[in-house]
A and B are shown apart, each in its own frame.
Chain A
């Protein structure tokens, strides 16, 4: 990827931040955990020598803001004003893992994450759902069912912290396999309802493939179908989140499309115009980052 483009994107994200606090959901807005952790992770992963000092300083500052928001049991909420739900915690773990000073906050958050469980139930009679409701993963909100994205993010965060062989990680990967759509790919976590296969989506498919990297065979049908779905859908979209997780996942499976850089650059003007420009620009930067796969707990 063009270093000059990455450099410009880094500068734009830094410009949109108020020093001393995190990024908001929109420029000028009050700080929220998700865009903050995402933007800082993307900056950390960009690894540009000429801006390294400036980036490192901003990332440390932001990581410190997140540490101050961390609750006593280790979880993180949505924002300073919204302490729950706490699905943002895995993203903060990934950021704290990327810097030396983050270890205390990270370890506390990992302990909390390992205690979180989605609700399960024994199916009675013929279940309308296509998935196994008994597998334990991670929910979006306490006391609700497990879903694909919070489970995939938890698996990535725990693997990044060296817990690839932990039972919870194995169960999380089992859940991810179980939620795959028969025709290929993943969505938010409902593979089929009343026997009708639902439609896949690129961002969850990307997250699932990242979370399964290194534990599935390259030629497993699950991986082949998931990658094939991404290869068919990514040329049709300029949505940064989908491009980010889609291209990173294909890279993790040694199938990064040749035009991927062009897609990311073509997505930037639209991303910069939208009200949620911070997250959109952060996804594009993360997609292009030299150390992104490493910081997401995957390798190719």
Chain B
């Protein structure tokens, strides 16, 4: 059963709806002006059925009239200059110092594996630092980093080897190990899987803004791993295992949707400055894509990233199923801020194996 997802009027910031969005589905229903006869009723019923069917088709193909905005920027490298770029993007998306001041911000990077030799596996520590700084400059009450990595139980080892520990210590950024956080159970809001409830870490309740900070990478099971797949790392491994096999058994694509629908993150900021192509999410090669992508609707962010990576979002299962339900993925329904997609789009390669053809199907 699919429950009604949160309304998409630009997220929690109260922005005006997209100008092309109709006021309601009722606009598709015919009006009646004369005395109603039985013939009228029969014809009217048939007409009503046709109209409702047409309306439903229009509703679905128009992604339930959902619209969103995504900000795309080019960034040559990691460094303190990212802070201004990030604040510009946040402003374009409707955030401001007024909306962030006094708030608690949870940043969820992708620290899937402990590695010194392959820094393109994880969200870059300098990227995390810049995002922290961007929110701190806007007087957030607290900005903390939280991760529940699924491949390595030794969180200290992951933080150390990824280089993030040094940044956390130097900048005095609090860190929460979500794998060992106190948990609460939440009803699965979308039920794409058969999991009736999800265990979630209490730290989610502490945060006013939940921000997904993924790496832009290919993924050998999902096609791509971006802001939505990154939220697997919110699920406590003490409850789900290392790896989180419960979610794999339930279906990776379906689990991605359920987690996003239930956690309801507020923002995604994608580290695509150096991404990964090939055999992602851990054994691929660096892709110097020089991209930062931001948005308040995660399906829209991921769909935009997929296009930038040379993928058709309709070929990515979880994105196709997110369409309309969790947000728009069609390009005409996503208002592009910052740079245009076409000039920045790059072909992220996949391994030469029959399994990967599905992600590039025509």
Contact = CB atoms under 8 A, between A and B. Distances in A.
A237 B245 contact: no
Interface string A189-224: 010011010110111000000000000000000000
Given A187-B151, A275-B176, A147 B245 contact: yes
A139 interface: yes
A64 to B, nearest CB: 23
B282 A203 contact: no
Interface residues of B, number: 37
B156 A144 contact: no
A141 B245 contact: yes
A168 B202 CA distance: 37
Contacts of B243: 147, 188, 190
B255 to A, nearest CB: 13
Given A144-B246, A275-B175, A201 B160 contact: no
A274 B174 CA distance: 10
Interface in A24-68: 25, 29-30, 32, 34
A178 interface: no
Contacts of B41: none
Contacts of B114: 199, 201
A276 interface: yes
A74 interface: no
B183 A82 contact: yes
Contact of A78 (B152, B154, B238, B242): B238
Contact of B283 (A32, A85, A196, A238): A196
Nearest to B279: A196
Interface stretch (A1-9, A96-104, A158-166, A239-247): A239-247
B157 A144 contact: no
B35 interface: no
A201 B157 CA distance: 9
Contact of A144 (B116, B161, B241): B241
Contact of B156 (A34, A78, A280): A280
B232 to A, nearest CB: 14
A29 B160 contact: no
A82 B236 CA distance: 12
Nearest to A238: B160
Interface string B235-250: 0011111110110010
A194 B245 contact: no
B220 A241 contact: no
A201 B115 CA distance: 9
Given A203-B154, A241-B157, A144 B249 contact: yes
A46 B360 CA distance: 58
Interface centre among B220, B238, B279 (most CB of A within 10 A): B238
B113 interface: yes
Interface in B146-183: 151-157, 160-161, 175-177, 180-183
Contact of B242 (A32, A147, A239): A147
Contacts, number: 105
Contacts of A196: 279, 283
Interface in B187-240: 220, 237-240
A140 interface: yes
A19 interface: no
A143 interface: yes
B38 interface: no
A277 to B, nearest CB: 11
Contacts of A82: 183, 238-239
A244 to B, nearest CB: 9
B98 interface: no
B351 A194 contact: yes
Contact of A240 (B156, B240, B355): B156
B39 interface: no
A237 B161 contact: yes
Given A141-B241, A141-B246, A241 B154 contact: yes
A237 B157 contact: yes
Contacts of A257: none
Contacts of B238: 34, 78, 82
Interface string A141-156: 1011101010000000
Given A85-B239, A194-B355, A187 B152 contact: yes
Given A187-B152, A194-B355, A237-B157, A147 B241 contact: yes
B245 A276 contact: no
B34 interface: no
A25 B180 contact: yes
Nearest to A78: B238
A235 interface: no
Nearest to B185: A82
A168 to B, nearest CB: 20
Interface of B: 113-116, 151-157, 160-161, 175-177, 180-183, 220, 237-243, 245-246, 249, 279, 282-283, 351, 353, 355
26 contacts: A25-B181, A78-B238, A82-B238, A85-B239, A85-B241, A140-B237, A141-B239, A141-B240, A144-B245, A144-B249, A145-B245, A149-B153, A187-B151, A188-B152, A188-B243, A190-B243, A194-B353, A199-B115, A201-B154, A203-B154, A203-B157, A239-B157, A239-B160, A241-B153, A275-B175, A279-B180
Interface of A: 25, 29-30, 32, 34, 78, 82, 85, 87, 128, 139-141, 143-145, 147, 149, 187-188, 190, 193-194, 196, 198-199, 201-203, 236-242, 270-271, 274-276, 279-280
Given A32-B180, A144-B241, A241-B156, 9 more contacts: A25-B181, A34-B238, A139-B241, A140-B237, A147-B243, A147-B245, A190-B243, A237-B161, A242-B157
- 8 closest Cβ pairs, A-B complex: A140-B241, A239-B157, A144-B245, A239-B156, A241-B154, A196-B283, A25-B180, A242-B157
